[in-house]
Amino acid sequence: MGIDIIKKRKTIRKFKDIKIEIEDMRTLIEAAIQAPSAHNFQPWEFILIDSNEVKEKLSSKMASTWTNNLIKDGKPLHEIQERISMSKGRINNAPFIIIPCFDTSKIEKYDDERDNAEFIMGLQSVALASENILLRATEKGFGALWLCAPLFCPEDVREVIGIPNHILPQEILIIGIPDEDPIKPKRRDLKDVIHHNKW
């Protein structure tokens, strides 16, 4: 795997209605756990979901919290219905779902500002593992969509899946066979992002 796979990876939001085998998802997790992690603590857990019943429970629970938030934001009813229906559809129709989680019991604890640094390092480690999943998925011909929604309703995800309190679900990764070939969003130029020896 090299720069070609890194460049090829892009977000896929439409998937073919083709069943994904759990064995294929295991190879993605195999890539995930090769990621570096702070202190080599490997503070990750991965929830694999292919049950329609679990997907439905998850999407309904998350939708109720999101609906309440959108009402609070004063969004019009038709917009709320449209967004909730799209969001539920994405989860219910997902060929496979992986939820990378951060195990906060695995990190160093301090009673000063180092605690926050260790927490961030844990998050960074899980994010690196997640990127490995995206890259391996690309290499294997799968598409993937990263949904940040669990960060906004972690209790919903925790309740439906039965996740203990010290485990923080980070995102929902929808994995499947791509049914679209979107143009990858343009990247900022190298010259705009590199700071050589000074800002």
Q: Which residues bind ligand FMN (CB under 6 A)?
A: 10-11, 146-149, 184-185
Strands (E), 19-151: 44-49, 96-103, 143-147
Backbone torsion region of residue 182, taken as left when φ is above 0, otherwise alpha when ψ lies between -120 and 50, otherwise beta = beta
Nearer to ligand FMN, 11 or 51 (CB): 11
Phi, psi (deg, nearest 5) at residue 158? -60, -45
Nearest distance from C-beta of residue 134 to ligand FMN, angstroms: 8
d(CA 144, CA 150): 16
Conformational region of residue 70, where left means phi above 0, alpha means psi within -120 to 50, and beta covers everything else: alpha
Name the minimum Å distance from CB 50 to ligand FMN: 21
Nearer to ligand FMN, 108 or 177 (CB): 177
Report CA-CA distances (Å) from 191 to 2, 88, 128, 184, 187: 22, 40, 25, 20, 11
The residue (of 22 and 148) whose beta carbon lies closer to ligand FMN is 148
Cα separation values, 163 from 100, 125, 127, 140, 167, Å: 12, 20, 19, 29, 7
Cβ of residue 25: shortest distance to ligand FMN, in angstroms?
A: 19
Q: Cβ of residue 175: shortest distance to ligand FMN, in angstroms? A: 14
Bridge partners, 49 (sequence order): 97
Nearer to ligand FMN, 69 or 105 (CB): 69
If the CB atoms of residues 84 and 147 are measured against ligand FMN, the closer one turns out to be 147
For residue 141, the minimal CB distance to ligand FMN (Å) is 16
